[in-house]
Structure 1
Amino acid sequence: MTEIALITGASSGLGAEFARQLAARGRNLALVARSAGPMNDLAAPLRERHDVRVEVIKQDLAEPDAAARVAEELAARGLETELLINNAGFGTCGRFEEIPAQRDHDQLMVNVVATTDLTHALVPAMLRRGRGAVVNVASTAGFQPAAYFAVYSAGKAFVLNFSLALWSEYRDRGVKVLALCPGPVETPFFDVIGTRKAAVNGRMTTPERVVAKTLKALDRNRGYVVPGMSNFAGAHLQPRRPRRLMARMSRLVTRKVLSTA
């Protein structure tokens, strides 16, 4: 069996940058995304430059049995996951009733269900070996309710709390778990969501910086990481209660995504 780092959403953005930095560390990789073409374009130079094995698995993670299919493919190729990076995800924004229900359903399938299912599928073997790691990509949006990002912020709150719970469970069993909670990052996320106004604070960072800080935090088994001082301050210094007041205040910040606001 070949030990690999499995990266979902590896066709662009943070996923592609995780692949680059991990390959530079000498890690063998398995890349998972809906589109094989961009992953093949990424894989070829990584193999040549770093002399690592890079496997490409085409899989839409919105499908109900996506995690099982990925796990079967890993077994068929003789791959054993040492590091799982649940990076795949997308968002929606706007008035909840105007967002297509299927779009929000697919968002939860990718952001929440696939993350949970892949963790279920791959962590037991890590525990048996007594080593391994999981990185789940959450968001600063997961620290509070966000009007006009209702499903996205709720899903990322799940990812954050799910990750911290597992970090607590596994921290003395050899498996590291880290929630990555970035603010706005210069990736295709904003093309998919449909507006750059979704970068609510307007300040973007780069995938290179986010991934470097994430891998450093994972090495230290920090549990979660919020890259960037302003993002860290926003996530930790704003009050959490009273909850209804904070939900109302969030609307003042996030309503810019509405063209009529």
Structure 2
Amino acid sequence: MTHSGKTALVTGASSGIGAEFAAQLAARGDNLVLVARSLDRLESLAAELRNRHGVRVEVIGQDLTAADAAARITNELAARELSIDVLINNAGFGSAGRFEELAADREQDQLMVNVVALAGLTRRLIPRMLERGGGEIVNVASIAAFQPAPYFATYAAGKAFVLNFSLALWSEYSDRGIKVLALCPGPTQTQFFDVVGTRKAAIGPSMASATHVVRSALRALERNKGYVVPGIGNFASAHLLPRRPRTFVARIAKFVTRGVADAARESSVHAAA
């Protein structure tokens, strides 16, 4: 195989959208650096991708809830003399339920992974991309980024940060050789909802495959689109619903999502039993 010569770093690469990014990037010839907490799963995926595509695959075990996670990752990259051309900030998780009932430490961890680690890793890798004359960044947001989501308050607000952060950098670096994309998928067939605690959090008519979501992202990145919402129904939901006045939108959203709080509470009761 003729390799692209690029090296891509994928966070949250042990499953779901992250593992699919790793597979599709390896298939096009990119070398990989896979980051997640689950070293056993990372090593298994790395071996599979090396054997199938003949690319170099490194693994870094890192808990992204740590305040110094981004620094630890970039220090490890330097120690291994690795330069990153493509950054896929995929790692993330969500919570659902009444805000006062959610574990405070878990909400803190969610923001550390979904927001702080993402921004920190982006900040630490962009300077080297500029030195080399270019790079590509995909930040995984969500369709939830487009409006407030009662009972998903922390998750939706964090993804709104990811969307606006990404679009700002897309504009800032569009004439400096760096492409930045916010990927805003709707419900996707991954373990995300197992972590949330209820499949009822998957609001919408159907769930997309991770394969489709990643293909859409890589096509949009190639075209330097800034952001992408895979799926016609998701695109319509993100763009055709009114966004003003904001308080009205928040009230309407509550009617759509309020069943999730009861489902999450019921799930936690069964789990404790």
TM-score, length basis structure 1: 0.98
Contact residue 3 and residue 79 of structure 1 kept, 8 A: no
Residue 108 of structure 1 corresponds to 111
Contact residue 97 and residue 262 of structure 2 kept, 8 A: no
Question: Distance in 2 between the 1:112 and 1:221 partners?
Answer: 22
2:87 partner letter: L
- Cα-to-partner distance string for 1:102-148 (whole Å, 9 max, x where unaligned): 10000000000000000011011111211101000000000000000
Contact residue 181 and residue 224 of structure 1 kept, 8 A: yes
Name the Cα RMSD after superposition: 1.1
Unaligned segments of structure 2, at least 5 residues: 266-273
Pairing partner for 1:219 from 216, 222, 235:
222
Question: Distance in 2 between the 1:87 and 1:80 partners?
Answer: 19
CA positional deviation for 1:202 = 4.1
Question: Distance in 2 between the 1:3 and 1:69 partners?
Answer: 22
1:46 aligns with 2:49: yes
How many residue pairs match? The answer is: 260
2:75 partner letter: E
Residue 243 of structure 1 corresponds to 246
Unaligned segments of structure 1, at least 5 residues: none
- Cα-to-partner distance string for 1:20-72 (whole Å, 9 max, x where unaligned): 00000000000000110111111111101111000010000000000000001
1:165 partner letter: A
Pairing partner for 1:230 from 198, 217, 233:
233
SS of residue paired to 2:19: helix
1:59 aligns with 2:62: yes
- Cα-to-partner distance string for 1:204-237 (whole Å, 9 max, x where unaligned): 0000000001000000000000000000000000
Residue 78 of structure 1 corresponds to 81
Pairing partner for 1:94 from 94, 97, 101:
97
2:156 partner letter: S
Question: Distance in 2 between the 1:128 and 1:42 partners?
Answer: 31
CA positional deviation for 1:4 = 1.3
CA positional deviation for 1:259 = 2.2
- Cα-to-partner distance string for 1:134-181 (whole Å, 9 max, x where unaligned): 000000000000000000000000000000000000000000000000
1:91 partner letter: G
TM-score, length basis structure 2: 0.94
Q: Percent identity?
A: 66
Question: Distance in 1 between the 2:262 and 2:90 partners?
Answer: 29
